[in-house]
């Protein structure tokens, strides 16, 4: 396990933010090196410096095999043997899966023209190693978040680099894909490839990592072989304070009053018999937290998109016992539904706007009884949420593009919670959120439920679903496969229902 890359005294300052402060990191070949830290600790920033996307402040050094080097850009980094899966997906949506994987290194025929056949064939091979059932000629725009994430992984692996950086690769994946990924990582390690692995799922660190480096507020706290750390040590080093029990004791607040009643919900498309999601019936009670579980692509998101008016559907939706017509998200919102979408970049945030503007977009009326927006009230409320959710930002005027992934996710949650809808749908709500904040989000959901809100939680993180839900609905191939009361739900029974 030879030392390949070293970072020494690396710092990075953004206007108003010191993201990294003299960080050291050593990456060895044939080793899985986990990087842990709270949201905004500087993990992604460090990786972007390693791949030439950012330039570090003067004073820091990067050495490859002992030689100092200046990494110019992503292409240069790749030439040096470093490839990365970014935390935020970066796919060209109008190109196909194969074209994305082979972008900028397309196989050519002797004539100089593209060798599409070969490209598709090789892409299919890469996809097969990840057990992905996606045609290489599918436009990426048609894939779900999880599928796109897998394509990113496939692409990074296919570069045959010496080091592969994975920035929260499993955030959008369900257990099944995560397991496949772990297998791949082991295989890569065996081939002598070094992996830098960033995740907020601590179990994964213990499952796969050989070594862990912990960042806090932009500084290295420690770097240890995995054998020397326990979960408690790790968490303490990350957050520097006592954490309440991760999954607090569950209290059920569900009443018998039906809040949302869905009957025969079916995707409306020209060829109805081919509709992927069909005949969904379920009820949500006031004060209930209803979990939705399923494998990637099972159709959970599509169900919620129909309820929220993003997709045309047939069937009936009743709220508070009255049937409602929902054609547009604004209709759903008017009927008291809120939706924390899984794709924060594409659907959740206006990246160019600041924290305050994104926060208030769902409930601007609250600050503008007439035409004008009361900026003081808006800022004050936003500050409250920034504080209570621990959103790390220099001010409410910071543009959200400049925030770390986890902090962006918290804003998406905040903007809906602040509206206090009757029904809150959260799709992968803790995607990219650190362990401390995750507990806070769970506590928040419980609190909202106790106040009488009905909450639907979609999560691919099975322990999370089990921890927060009063009831769990399992979706398989676009239908409800089974519904579990909390008492009957266990990892095994649910997995069984999702896969069998």
Partner 1 sequence: MIVRDSPATAVLRPRHTAVGGRVSALLQVRELNVLTALLVVVALISFSTPYFLTTDNLMGVFRSFSLIAIMSIGMVMVIITGGIDLSVGSVMGLSSLVTALGFQSGLPTAVCILGGLATGLLFGLFNGVLITVIRLPPFIATLGSLSIGRGLMYIITHGVPLTPDTPDVFAEIGQGYVGLVPVPVVIMLAMTIVFSVVMRKTRFGRHVYATGGNEMAARLSGVKTGRVKLLVYMLSGLIAGLAGIVSFSRYLSAEPASGFGAELDVIAAAAIGGASLAGGVGSVEGAIIGAALAGIIANGVVLMNINTYAQQAITGAVILIAVSLDVWRSRSKGA
Ligand X SMILES: Nc1ncnc2c1ncn2[C@@H]1O[C@H](COP(=O)(O)OP(=O)(O)OP(=O)(O)O)[C@@H](O)[C@H]1O
Task: Provide the edge-to-edge strand list for the sheet that holds 32-36.
Answer: 82-85, 163-167, 194-198, 32-36, 211-216, 219-225
Task: Give the nearest distance from C-beta 294 to ligand X in angstroms.
Answer: 5
Task: Provide the edge-to-edge strand list for the sheet that holds 454-458.
Answer: 337-340, 423-427, 454-458, 289-294, 471-476, 479-485
From the list 170, 301, 341, 469, which residue makes contact with ligand X (rule: CB under 6 A)? Answer: 301
Contact predicate 12/189, CB 8 Å: no
**What is the rounded CA–CA span in Å between residue 44 and residue 200?**
13
Place of tokens 């090789």: 122
Asked if 114 touches partner 1 (CB under 8 A), the answer is: yes
Q: Decide: helix, strand or coil at residue 433.
A: coil
Asked if 44 touches Mg ion (CB under 5 A), the answer is: yes
**What is the rounded CA–CA span in Å between residue 128 and residue 357?**
43
Give the range of 175-183, 240-248, 367-375, 449-457 binding partner 1 by CB under 8 A.
Answer: 367-375
Give the range of 120-128, 240-248, 291-299, 481-489 binding ligand X by CB under 6 A.
Answer: 291-299
Asked if 238 touches ligand X (CB under 6 A), the answer is: no
Would you list the DSSP string of 293-316?
EE-TTSSHHHHHHHHTTSS-EEEE
Asked if 56 touches partner 1 (CB under 8 A), the answer is: no
Task: Give the nearest distance from C-beta 148 to partner 1 in angstroms.
Answer: 9
Task: Give the nearest distance from C-beta 351 to partner 1 in angstroms.
Answer: 5
Asked if 261 touches ligand X (CB under 6 A), the answer is: no
From the list 145, 239, 418, 466, which residue makes contact with ligand X (rule: CB under 6 A)? Answer: 145
Which residue's CB is nearer to Mg ion, number 44 or number 379?
44
Give the range of 59-67, 180-188, 195-203, 364-372 binding partner 1 by CB under 8 A.
Answer: 364-372
From the list 100, 147, 220, 362, which residue makes contact with ligand X (rule: CB under 6 A)? Answer: 147
Q: Decide: helix, strand or coil at residue 139.
A: strand
Asked if 298 touches ligand X (CB under 6 A), the answer is: yes
What region, left, alpha or beta, does residue 119 occupy, with left being phi > 0 and alpha being psi -120 to 50 degrees? alpha
CA 3 to chain centre: 31
- Contacts of 60 by beta carbon, 8 Å cutoff, 6+ apart: 7, 8, 9, 10, 11, 22, 49
From the list 58, 66, 270, 321, which residue makes contact with partner 1 (rule: CB under 8 A)? Answer: 270
Asked if 52 touches ligand X (CB under 6 A), the answer is: no
From the list 250, 311, 476, 486, which residue makes contact with partner 1 (rule: CB under 8 A)? Answer: 311
Give the range of 43-51, 211-219, 315-323, 489-497 binding Mg ion by CB under 5 A.
Answer: 43-51
Query: According to CB under 6 A, which residues from 320 to 349 bind ligand X?
Result: 342
Asked if 39 touches partner 1 (CB under 8 A), the answer is: no
Task: Give the nearest distance from C-beta 484 to partner 1 in angstroms.
Answer: 30
Supply 92's token pair. Answer: 């060209």
Query: According to CB under 6 A, which residues from 76 to 135 bind ligand X?
Result: 87
Task: Give the nearest distance from C-beta 160 to ligand X in angstroms.
Answer: 26
Supply 414's token pair. Answer: 């905040």
Contact predicate 339/329, CB 8 Å: yes
Asked if 294 touches Mg ion (CB under 5 A), the answer is: no
From the list 273, 274, 372, 387, which residue makes contact with partner 1 (rule: CB under 8 A)? Answer: 372
Query: According to CB under 8 A, which residues from 392 to 431 bind partner 1?
Result: 397, 399, 401-402, 415
Which residue's CB is nearer to partner 1, number 61 or number 105?
105
Comparing CA positions, the residue from 221, 120, 210, 208 lying closest to residue 169 is: 208
Contact predicate 266/279, CB 8 Å: yes
**What is the rounded CA–CA span in Å between residue 311 and residue 108?**
40
Residues that bind ligand X (CB under 6 A): 14, 17, 19, 37, 39-45, 87, 142-147, 174, 276, 294, 296-302, 342, 392, 402-407, 432, 434, 460
Residues that bind Mg ion (CB under 5 A): 44, 87, 301, 342, 404-405
């Amino acid at each position: 396990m030879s030392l390949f890359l070293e970072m020494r005294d690396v710092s990075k300052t953004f206007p108003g933010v010191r993201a990294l402060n003299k960080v050291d990191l050593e990456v060895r070949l044939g080793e899985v090196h986990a990087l842990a830290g709270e949201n905004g600790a500087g993990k992604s920033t460090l990786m972007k410096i390693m791949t030439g996307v950012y330039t570090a402040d003067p004073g820091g050094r990067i050495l490859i095999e002992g030689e100092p080097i200046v990494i110019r850009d992503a292409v240069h980094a790749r030439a040096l043997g470093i490839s990365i899966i970014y935390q935020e997906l970066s796919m060209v949506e109008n190109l196909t899966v194969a074209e994305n994987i082979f972008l900028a290194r397309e196989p050519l025929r002797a004539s100089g023209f593209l060798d599409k056949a070969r490209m598709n064939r090789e892409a299919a091979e890469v996809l097969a190693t990840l057990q992905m059932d996606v045609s290489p000629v599918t436009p990426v725009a048609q894939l779900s978040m999880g599928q796109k994430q897998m394509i990113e992984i496939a692409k990074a692996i296919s570069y045959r680099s010496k080091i592969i950086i994975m920035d929260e690769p499993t955030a959008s994946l369900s257990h099944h894909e995560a397991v496949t990924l772990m297998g791949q990582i082991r295989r890569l390690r065996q081939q002598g490839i070094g992996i830098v692995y960033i995740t907020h799922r601590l179990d994964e660190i213990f499952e796969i990592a050989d070594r862990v480096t912990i960042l806090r507020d932009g500084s290295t706290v420690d770097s240890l072989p995995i054998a020397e750390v326990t979960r408690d040590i790790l968490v303490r080093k990350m957050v520097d304070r006592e954490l309440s029990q991760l999954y607090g004791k569950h209290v059920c607040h569900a009443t018998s009053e039906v809040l949302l009643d869905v009957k025969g919900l079916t995707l409306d498309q020209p060829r109805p018999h081919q509709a992927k999601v069909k005949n969904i019936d379920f009820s949500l009670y006031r004060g209930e937290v209803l979990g939705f579980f399923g494998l990637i692509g099972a159709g959970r998101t599509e169900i919620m998109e129909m309820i929220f008016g993003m997709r045309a559907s047939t069937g009936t939706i009743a709220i508070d016992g009255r049937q409602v017509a929902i054609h547009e998200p604004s209709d759903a919102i008017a009927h008291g539904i809120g939706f924390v979408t899984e794709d924060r970049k594409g659907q959740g945030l206006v990246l160019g706007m600041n924290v305050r503007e994104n926060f208030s977009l769902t409930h601007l009326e609250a600050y503008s009884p007439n035409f004008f927006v009361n900026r003081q009230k808006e800022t004050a409320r936003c500050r409250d949420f920034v504080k209570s959710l621990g959103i790390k930002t220099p001010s409410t005027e910071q543009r959200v593009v400049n925030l770390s992934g986890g902090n962006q996710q918290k804003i998406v949650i905040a903007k809906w919670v602040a509206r206090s809808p009757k029904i809150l749908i959260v799709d992968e709500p803790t995607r990219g959120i650190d362990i401390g904040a995750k507990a806070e989000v769970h506590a928040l959901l419980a609190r909202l439920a106790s106040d009488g809100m009905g909450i639907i939680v979609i999560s691919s993180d099975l322990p999370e679903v089990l921890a927060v839900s009063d009831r769990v609905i399992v979706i398989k191939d676009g239908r409800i496969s089974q519904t579990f009361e909390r008492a009957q739900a266990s990892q095994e029974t649910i997995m069984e229902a999702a896969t069998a």
